[in-house]
Amino acid sequence: MRIKVLRAATMPEAMARLRQELGPDAALLSTRPVPGGVEVTGGLEPAEAEEGDLLLIAPGGALVPRRFHFAASPTESAAALPRNGSAPGHSCNPEGRIHPRGEDATIHPRGEDARFHLRGEDARLHLRGEDARLHLRGEDARLHLRGEDARLHLRGEDARLHLRGEDAATLDFHRVPASLAARLAAAPLEASLEASLRFVRLPDGVARPLLLAGPPGAGKTLTCAKLAARRVLAGESPPLVVTADAERPAAAEQLAAFTRVLGATLAVAPTPAAAAAALARRAPGQPVLIDTAGMDPFMPEQARSLAALIAATGAAIVLVLPASMDAAEAADLARAFAALGARHLLPTRLDATRRIGAVLAAAAGGGLALCEAGTSPQVADGLTCLEPVWLSARLRRRSHLAPPSQEGNVP
The reply to whether 307 falls in a domain is yes
- Residue 403 pLDDT > 90: no
pLDDT (0 to 100) of residue 25: 75
Predicted confidence at residue 5, as pLDDT, reads 84
358-393 residue pLDDT tens: 999 999 999 999 999 999 999 988 999 999 999 999
What pLDDT sits at residue 140? 55
- What does the alpha-carbon distance between residue 336 and residue 371 come to, in Å, rounded to a whole number? 19
Q: Round the average pLDDT of the chain to a whole number and report it.
A: 78
- 271-280 per-position pLDDT tens digit: 999 999 999 9
CATH number at residue 308: 3.40.50.300
Q: Which of 13-27, 61-75, 126-140 has the highest mean pLDDT?
A: 13-27
pLDDT tens profile 165-178? 899 999 999 999 99
Q: In Å, what is the CA distance from 315 to each residue of 2, 190, 242, 310?
A: 26, 32, 12, 6
- Any domain includes 164: no
Q: Based on DSSP, count helices (H) and strands (E) in the chain, helices before strands.
A: 17, 13
Mean pLDDT confidence for 113-138: 43
Amino acid 95: pLDDT: 40
Count Cβ atoms below 10 Å from residue 342 Cβ, excluding itself: 27
Q: What residue numbers bound the domain in which 382 lies?
A: 55-62+68-96+198-406
Task: Give the residues across from 318 on adjacent strands.
Answer: 212, 344
What local confidence, expressed as pLDDT, does residue 26 receive? Answer: 79
Residue 149 domain flag: no
- Confidence class for position 40, pLDDT limits 50, 70, 90: confident
Q: How much is the pLDDT for 294?
A: 94
Which of 225, 230, 242 is closest to 281 using CA atoms? 242
- The reply to whether 258 falls in a domain is yes
Instruction: Identify the pLDDT of residue 81.
Output: 52
Pairing of strands 372-374, 369-370: unpaired
Average pLDDT over residues 45-64: 60
Q: Do residues 91 and 23 share a domain?
A: no
Q: Is 252 a domain residue?
A: yes
In a domain? residue 216 = yes
User: Structural domain tally of the chain?
Assistant: 2
pLDDT tens readout for residues 205-253 = 999 999 999 999 999 999 999 999 999 999 999 999 999 988 776 778 8
In a shared domain, residues 41 and 75: no
Give me the pLDDT at residue 149, please: 53
Q: Are residues 242 and 312 in the same domain?
A: yes
Q: What is the pLDDT of residue 297?
A: 96
- Of 106-110, 121-125, 218-222, 399-403, the poorest mean pLDDT is in 106-110
pLDDT above 90 (res 155):
no
> Who's near 47: CB < 8 A, 6+ residues apart?
none
Give me the pLDDT at residue 249, please: 66
pLDDT of residue 405: 53
Type and span of the H or E element at 39: strand 37-44
- Domain contains 288: yes
Exposure on the CB side of residue 83, measured as CA atoms within 13 A: 15
Average pLDDT of span 92-116: 39
How much is the pLDDT for 63?
A: 54
Q: Is-contact 341 45, C-beta < 8 A? A: no
Q: What phi, psi does 108 have (nearest 5°)?
A: -65, -50
pLDDT at residue 119, rounded to an integer: 43
Together in a domain, 75 and 32: no
Q: Rg of the chain over CA atoms, in angstroms?
A: 27
- For the full predicted model, state whether its pTM sits above 0.85: no
Q: Which residues of 362-400 are buried (b: 16+ CB within 10 A; e: fewer)?
A: bbbbbebbbbbbbbbebbbbbbbbbbbbbbbbbbbbeeb
Q: Is the pLDDT of residue 23 over 70?
A: yes
For 115-122, the CB contacts below 8 A with 24+ separation are: none
Task: Give residues with Cβ within 8 angstroms of 346, minimum separation 6.
Answer: 202, 212, 223, 318, 319, 320, 321, 371, 372, 373, 374
Give the pLDDT of residue 109.
38
Which stretches of 156-299 are DSSP H helices?
157-173, 178-184, 189-196, 220-233, 251-262, 272-280
Q: Are 386 and 323 in contact (CB under 8 A)?
A: no
> Residue 249: inside a domain, yes or no?
yes
Give pLDDT tens digits for 293-311: 999 999 999 999 999 999 9
In the predicted structure, residue 410 carries a pLDDT above the cut 60:
no
Question: In whole angstroms, what is the distance from residue 344 CA to residue 367 CA?
Answer: 9
The answer to whether residue 202 scores a pLDDT higher than 90 is: yes
